[in-house]
Structure 1
Amino acid sequence: MTYVLSALADTRRDLSALFAPSSIAVVGASNDPAKYGNWLAVRALRDGHRRPAHLINKTRSTILGHPAAPSLSALGEPVDLAVIAVPAAGFDDAVDDAIAARVGAIVAITAGLGETGADGLARQNALVARLREAGIPMLGPNCLGVLDNTTGLDATVNEFRPGSVSVLSQSGNVAIDLAEHFTEQGLGVARFASLGNCADLDVADLIDSCVDHDGTSAIAVYCEGFKDGRKFARAAARAADAGKPVVLLSVGRGAASTRGAASHTGSLVTSGVVLEAVCEATGTELVSSPFEMANLLQALVRTRPPAGSRIAVLADGGGHASLASDSLEEAGLRVDEFTADLSSRVAAELPPTAGVSNPIDLAGGGEQDITSFERVARRLIESAETDAVLMTGYFGGYGEYDPAVAPREIQAGHDIGALVAASGASFVAQTMFADSRPAAALRESGVAVYRDVEHATWALSRLARRARTASHPLPALPIPAAPLAETGYWPARRALFAAGIPFVPAAEVTTVEELEAAVTDLRYPLVLKALGDEHKSDNGGVVLNIADHDTLISAWNDVQRRLAPPVCSIEEMADLTDSVELIIGVRRDPTFGPIALVGIGGVYTELLKDTRCALGPVSADQARDLLLSLRGSALLTGFRGKPPVDVDAAARLVATLSVFAAEHPEIGEIECNPIAVTPTTAVALDARIILAPRS
């Protein structure tokens, strides 16, 4: 089978002029402090010691007391980055001037283009075509600019504390909100890029650039839509594999996104489900708020993911010890009891009243000797019994209780941080005094610190899940096959059978004479299906357990009288003894392409909604993992004395269907519900194909 190759490294855009320009010009520089052109000019001039800063204004020869040129072309010297902040009416001329001056990159602050409607979009697209022909990348338009704290570039209107997280956002307010949370947690920004309309550069281009940026350790993305979902997936997977995880906050993830879906698969695969599948495939971390994003980023940039799920709890009070243990176990992590050997080594560092199993309760050890935190942490980190340590409780408050302890407590924070850094341990702290100087010492030394234990355990659980996947190879899309001409039940059945999907023996009939002829090649019991209604079982259009000829004719006459179907299917009834019914399907997302779905199926599909999705096409191994991750997977592996079913056969069927759907981009939704999985085989009992609307 021939597949479309993924984008190659040499197709990535060179954005050095955008983030590290040798010179900058503000087009539309202004003396008016209420205008973007003024704010940007002030910042460019302030940083003029780093790079030449030019001011462009068509009507004024001086701006802010500095010389101004009427155009970029009139400068007489090259400009690497042009920041355009002119009214929409003058934007075309400004872009043409930038092309004539052969600038290296453009940041388009100007609004009133593609976001205004069809005419504005056509104009915007024409400008992008000219820029691409000239080889000039453009950020925006309708954006808030760009910043790179590692190169001293400040071509935006917001302040961002320096750090190691690059922020790519379609919303200026969301970026500011995130930066506030960063400040609270001692994080900062390496790069900021306002996405705007993404007319030329999109979020994938910017992620790729950040992957190649030494100053970026993680990438925060707020995006309201993706121009090319597969391109985003490739960039995000590349970032994850490079150790620079992408944390994504997006909108429009609810069920409303699937209104009008024609199949169970279509209604179950919401935009939120699609994003979850894409994030799982690419190692992207999906979050629901700026606060959650900052919490997770703190762990990602400061904490090594644990090698397993065994967590040691180091607390200085029984209440916090119990709360942390419960929270960890609810998050799917383990708080295993220590061996006698580890407990004795911990006990050697603490008073006799301390609890030295797991969780540990210092029981006054902190008040007596603040260095006991570091000593016990060392014992836990050195032990092969633990994968990570959660320190929880009162640390950071002892100095307030006893001012004489304050400097030693701050030093203890630094000592714990140094221990964690030297050992490479997975270590997270929670404290009631998250704003204290000892907590700041922990953060400064590289330890993630949280105010609430549920946030600390949530972050640890995300890290543990992340550690289970080392790389993120993405499925390639096959070369499209000849489009399907028909999509009714029998055309779908024939096409899928030809692709390798097994079905029970059956025949398509329209008259009683055809029925009589067909049953000579079939074995009783039979199933009669009245076609033309996707919910035929609900409407009495499926007659099961037809045991003989007389019952068959009676069923035929009844169905014809009640439903008058244009065509029927007569099929051998599958032996469902010890079988499990599944739903499998694929929905083609307009942005990300085929999304494969598996779930507990049959008449319980909508009731149980026990489904899992993945970016398609999927392999048989991936399909098996999906099936075994269902809540009802015990039904597949043997439950209450029933034999296990042939999961491998079901997985091969899922993989075959997902490849077929990927080969046919004209398909919007495709579904087999149910498939019957028995101890020896898997067979489809129904099929449905819905073509995507023509765009």
Structure 2
Amino acid sequence: MGRDLTALFDPVSVAVVGASDDPAKYGHAIASQAVRADHRRPVHLVNRRGGTVLGRTVAPSIRAIGAPVDLAVVSVPAAGFEAAVDEALACGARAIVAITAGFAETGAAGRERQRVVAERVRAAGAVMVGPNCLGVADNTTDLFLASDTFTPGGIALLSQSGNLALELQLRFAPHGLGFSRFVSLGNQADVTLVDLLADCARHEGTRAIAVYAEDFADGRAFAEAAAVAGKPVVLLTAGRGDASARSAQSHTGALTTSADVVTAACRDAGVELVATPRELTVVLAALAGERRARGRGVAVLTDGGGHGVIAADAVEAAGLTVPELTPDTQDSLREVLWEQSALGNPVDLAGMGEQDPASYTGTVTALLEAEETDAVLMTGYFGGYADAGGGLGGGAALARGEQEAARAIVARHQESAKPLVVQSMYPGSPSCRTLTAGGIPVFGATEDAARALAALARPGATTPASGVTPLPRAATPLERTGYLETRRALEAAGIPFPAAREIHDEDELRAAASEISGPYVLKALHLLHKSDAGGVALGLAGPDELLAAYRDMHARLGAPSYSVEAMADLSDGIELIVGVNRDPRFGPVAMVGLGGILAEVLRDVAFALAPVPADHALHLLRRLRTAPLLDGVRGRPAVDIAAAAEAIERITAFAAAHPEIAELEVNPLLVQPAGVLALDSRAVLV
């Protein structure tokens, strides 16, 4: 169910503590906005000096109000913050919006003060946003407790940046978008991003949730909440480029970056990840309607060849396809277009639009009805025919025809289940405004239109969401994670390894050789990267070669013990790497890729939140650049990809059940035509 945030978004009454007549103070901005809704609920202004603010008599304290206070906005200097919160709680406040700064963002002492206040708030059964936040607004309940006014709409914005909200306000306007709610996250001492996401998912007035976050805190919980939100969640975040662990002690750790982790979490949770406010707006404009594409095929319509080719490239770059149109579809197009029109895909009106704007309507209708297409992109000049500044010089008749075509296109779109997205040289023209008002997203840039179409593809059409698999119950912690201990633990989890024996001297080596059939592998133990140190010898044909390799290796490395193992047949196999790295925000993150000694060189890897079910593991394997190798090439047989997926599930589930493991790696995991065999493993404790 989540936390009850009713008092935060629809309080019975509000008190603004620190209200001021000084325009330079935030208490003035908050008070000015709050009183706009005093018709909805009592709004009390509090200033310890008394007097008037905004022409209204203020109370010197919350107690002095003499009436119940459900929500208190606290915008006072840090020195008086705790006292103000205590007074609000004592007077029955169920929600606190803490504007005051000077807490966790200042260091350890501030963090401790913040923790103590948050504990007092929770002990009182209340909730607190902040501290160090910029306020809260809810247009559906007339709650205005931020410094700015937000255009009403269906987007809830949860943000660590106030200025971003102002930029989005400007970017939303041409697309007819607005805000249902705005929450400045602040330090999240009590109410967290996850709490707010869950509440907005339940909020009837919110159609989509936009998030700007620099610090997820509990990223795993964020992904889990987003996965079950039931509404589009779009995330803009920063700081994704650096390695998550510079002290990584495995290939997995070295190859895993913060960007990989966030991207994997978003994909698994079904979150649209964006890089800029512009892209955030594009995706939200696309998702504002109810239509979603059933697949990846896009029909491109243009009245100029150049725009069509550019749009087709942009669509494919966005992960979609531009399929060839069937003869039936082309026959339908011939009925509405003239002879010189191009009927492939892109479809080019070839100048017919300026002769008969209605040709756009007929073409859009045919493409929306085509079985081979899942969405339509109309690109180029539409909108310019009615524009007095257009290259065709406008003209009343052409303007009327284009407007009629725009209205007809809206009607045809409303009759179809497929999305239609428009790129226009004149996105602000009257005809394009008609399209926008009718629920058709219009953009000025081709790449924006393509990105919008990618957002409209249903899960499974581009990068399918797998959901977020719950973490298993923690298993009995491993006390040691040496090579053999890790190997035995993985064997117990169902991962097969070649036969092996630990040896300490030549006598034990000879005994091992008699128990295991050659050829052999010899490994020096207690070395983190055995291959790099010359601590692995492969393909030792018999006991004599094994003994010679041991003497050489022991003379060079002096390892306390060694492992004698059966040499696997590598001829028909593919070597994979399967690893799990524990991220401080998102927990265990799995990596799957082409393995062996070239893992870090090739960097052909895919990521997901662990544990990874076998069906999702299959998808990860298919995403690799080298995936065709799994199906057999140049006479090599196909390998058992189902067995590989099952092994990935077992390895990642094992790692997820052992939170004491910081890094776990099986490299290589040999995938053969009939099963898998783990040839090496490594684990590093937290």
Bin the TM-score by the shorter chain.
Answer: over 0.9
One-letter amino acid of the structure 1 residue matched with residue 255 of structure 2: L
Provide the residue aligned with 1:413 in structure 2. 406
Q: Quick check: 1:47 aligned with 2:37?
A: yes
Provide the residue aligned with 1:373 in structure 2. 360
Provide the residue aligned with 1:317 in structure 2. 304
- Alpha carbons 2:104, 2:112 under 8 Å: kept: yes
Provide the residue aligned with 1:442 in structure 2. 435
CA-CA distance at 1:457 after TM superposition: 1.5
CA-CA distance at 1:429 after TM superposition: 0.5
- Alpha carbons 1:139, 1:195 under 8 Å: kept: yes
Change (3 A) 1:93 1:439: same
Change (3 A) 1:524 1:251: same
Provide the residue aligned with 2:350 in structure 1. 363
SS at the partner of 2:459?
helix
Distance 1:188 1:406 in 2: 29
Matches within 5 A, 1:247-646: 247-302=234-289, 304-399=291-386, 400=388, 401-404=393-396, 405-464=398-457, 466=459, 468=461, 473-646=467-640
Provide the residue aligned with 1:217 in structure 2. 207
SS at the partner of 1:603?
helix
Distance 2:55 2:609 in 1: 56
CA-CA distance at 1:126 after TM superposition: 0.9
- Alpha carbons 1:303, 1:427 under 8 Å: kept: no
SS at the partner of 1:508?
strand
Q: Between Structure 1 and Structure 2, how many residues are aligned?
A: 679
Distance 1:531 1:158 in 2: 64
Provide the residue aligned with 1:125 in structure 2. 115
CA-CA distance at 1:22 after TM superposition: 2.7
Change (3 A) 1:634 1:467: closer
Distance 2:683 2:321 in 1: 45
Deviations 1:534-568 (A, max 9, x none): 22212221111111222222111111111111221
Pairing partner for 2:224 from 231, 234, 246: 234
SS at the partner of 1:461?
helix
Change (3 A) 1:14 1:76: same
CA-CA distance at 1:303 after TM superposition: 6.2
Matches within 5 A, 1:635-674: 635-674=629-668
CA-CA distance at 1:448 after TM superposition: 0.9
- Alpha carbons 1:303, 1:428 under 8 Å: kept: no
- Alpha carbons 2:33, 2:149 under 8 Å: kept: no
Distance 1:603 1:366 in 2: 59
TM-score normalised per structure 2:
0.96
CA-CA distance at 1:231 after TM superposition: 1.9
Alignment gaps of 5+ in structure 1: 1-8
Distance 2:110 2:582 in 1: 29
Provide the residue aligned with 1:138 in structure 2. 128
- Of stretches 460-469 and 657-666 in structure 1, the one that deviates more from structure 2 is 460-469
CA-CA distance at 1:72 after TM superposition: 1.8
Deviations 1:512-539 (A, max 9, x none): 2221222210111111111232222122
Distance 1:77 1:453 in 2: 57
CA-CA distance at 1:108 after TM superposition: 0.7
SS at the partner of 2:288?
helix
SS at the partner of 1:648?
helix
Change (3 A) 1:673 1:218: same
- Of stretches 391-400 and 469-478 in structure 1, the one that deviates more from structure 2 is 469-478
- Alpha carbons 1:110, 1:142 under 8 Å: kept: yes
Provide the residue aligned with 1:35 in structure 2. 25
- Alpha carbons 1:204, 1:232 under 8 Å: kept: yes
SS at the partner of 1:302?
coil
Distance 1:418 1:80 in 2: 47
Change (3 A) 1:621 1:256: closer
CA-CA distance at 1:575 after TM superposition: 0.8
Distance 1:623 1:632 in 2: 15
Q: Quick check: 1:185 aligned with 2:172?
A: no
Distance 1:463 1:640 in 2: 39
CA-CA distance at 1:227 after TM superposition: 2.3
CA-CA distance at 1:353 after TM superposition: 2.6
CA-CA distance at 1:406 after TM superposition: 2.7
Distance 1:141 1:268 in 2: 37
- Of stretches 411-420 and 248-257 in structure 1, the one that deviates more from structure 2 is 411-420
Distance 2:309 2:555 in 1: 67
- Of stretches 363-372 and 523-532 in structure 1, the one that deviates more from structure 2 is 363-372
Distance 1:91 1:475 in 2: 41
Deviations 1:20-56 (A, max 9, x none): 2232210111111100111111111222222221001
Q: How many percent of aligned residue pairs carry the same amino acid? A: 51
Change (3 A) 1:531 1:127: same
One-letter amino acid of the structure 2 residue matched with residue 674 of structure 1: P
Provide the residue aligned with 1:200 in structure 2. 190
CA-CA distance at 1:471 after TM superposition: 7.5
